[in-house]
Chain A
Amino acid sequence: MSKTDFDRRIATGLDRGEAFTFTFDGMAVTAYPGESVAAALIAHGRRKFRETLKRDMPRGLYCGMGVCWECIMVIDGRAAVRACMTVAEPGMKVETQHGLGPSPNTAPTEGSAS
């Protein structure tokens, strides 16, 4: 089953407004104004948000309240943004965070510092 085929939003009694999309690792994900990145991803069955630095372990939403930092992702190029605390925006670029995530532009190109 393709994971974008379903929607785990509860429909009852709610008008979420105008849907928009952002991208998750290049694929379009539907979201509604005010929704967190984590909620939108999970609504579409996307649950693996990052891989850890030390062991490459998959992680996703855990505490859901900003305390545990398990749901950190790369959002619009910035590493370690909590998906559970970040409101989705149209056109936002959300990516799985691998390890520490990407460096800012001014960072050393070699990445060789040790």
Chain B
Amino acid sequence: MAMSDAPAEPPDRCEIAVVGGGIAGLSTALFLARAGRDVVLLDKGSPWGDSSGANAGTLSLQVKRTEMFEMGSTSIGLWAAFGTEMGIDVGFHQPGGLRVAESDEQIAFLREYGAEQEAVGFEFEWLEGNQLHDLAPWLGPEVRAATFCAADGYASPLIAGPSLIAGARKAGVRVISNAEVTGARTAKGGYRLSIGRRSLECEYLAIAAGGHSTKIAASLGVRLPLWVDCNMLTVTEPAPRIMDKVVTHIGGIMSLKQHVNGTVLIGGGWQGRGKFSRQTREIDPLAWVQNVGLGARIAPDLKTLRVNRAWAGYEAVTIDALPLLGRLPGLENAYVAAGARGGFHMGPGQGLVLSQLILEGETGLDISRFDPARFPQ
């Protein structure tokens, strides 16, 4: 969902340029501005107009790879803090999440996965049979086991977008729409970005432009290998409460949640028809019905609800499903945050890391596994 679009021209220079008005870029810019730095945020269209506005908003620790726990936990903490400490309502709720399994094979996988998660200190509860159905009577009979993670929740992309844009502006970020960075090169004391016919000089550069990061980095001679999924999302009419947890699925990809306003969001990363290279994104009507059908098997009350709309949005991912987070190889004062699976969830944490790298030159989080230099240049 495209958000703010107040017309403004980019300035000629600034201290820090952040490219990309999604959750990672806005978080980076917000944290830097709150630290008193001079930040310009550039978006090729409208901030929040791409993946951040089009995703499911799921904040689920237990669906993430174990390497992502620290970043995932930090991010959930930040999602909570936007509202409680920064006065930015992002529609954050933490009802806890169930990761469900239906078949023997899935139950075995859930156990195996749980063991790996426990090994890195992750806390969850194992539920099966009556215990599970007493906690969640709205689950379908085919759901036989689940892990429950109290930390799981969601943020509302619709609420978060306008709030974060307004919050960033209030903190002093100059948010510029329709400012596509078509190229970048090193310049004296920093970087010069081409924005159409204009240019912007900055000391620090933070790229958080999802799948578009590849092209921008390439103009600086850096290779950022990314793939882009085209995920389908579905939202129902607002309905009385039919479920009270965030649900994910161990076997089939799926996420389910019911918002405070009663709408149920069905996601999970079923692929629509779309090509990032052509900027097309449509639903695939067959896979879409399968996606919705899986949701209705897990929470059968869904069958009585009407679908209001469905859409598809991009998600940029690396080939090892870990983010590209840190300094651009071979360059000073240029950073990237892109390609995290579950990038909406991870956005605030990645923003924190980039802001710390720019402010202090280091971060307390272990980002060694995410070093963009791990891929051959």
Contact = CB atoms under 8 A, between A and B. Distances in A.
Direct contact, A vs B (beta carbon within 8 Å)? yes
Q: Contact size class for B?
A: 20 to 34
A42 interface: no
A78 B304 contact: yes
B238 A100 contact: yes
B241 A103 contact: yes
A12 interface: no
B237 interface: yes
Contacts of A114: 93, 95, 260
Contacts of A78: 304
A106 B301 CA distance: 8
Interface of B: 93, 95, 136-138, 237-245, 258, 260-262, 300-301, 304, 306
Contacts of A111: 241, 244
Given A80-B239, A113-B95, A104 B304 contact: yes
A14 to B, nearest CB: 34
Contacts of B137: 106-108
Interface residues of A, number: 17
Contact of A104 (B95, B242, B258, B260): B242
A112 B240 CA distance: 12
Contacts of B241: 100, 103, 107-108, 111, 113
Nearest to A109: B137
* Secondary structure type dominating chain A contacts: loop
Contacts of B93: 113-114
Nearest to B262: A100
Nearest to B139: A106
Given A100-B238, A100-B240, 8 more contacts: A78-B304, A80-B306, A103-B242, A107-B241, A108-B136, A108-B243, A113-B244, A114-B95
A93 B105 CA distance: 46
Which of A53, A108, A112: most chain B Cβ within 10 A?
A: A108
A53 B262 contact: yes
A107 B138 CA distance: 6
A101 interface: yes
B244 A104 contact: no
Given A107-B301, A114-B260, A100 B243 contact: no
User: Which 4 A-B pairs have CB atoms at the shortest separation, nearest pair first?
Assistant: A113-B244, A108-B244, A103-B240, A100-B262
Contact of B237 (A80, A106, A108, A113): A80
B262 A108 contact: no
Which of A80, A110, A112: most chain B Cβ within 10 A?
A: A80
A27 to B, nearest CB: 23
A94 to B, nearest CB: 17
Contacts of B243: 107-108, 113
A100 B258 contact: no
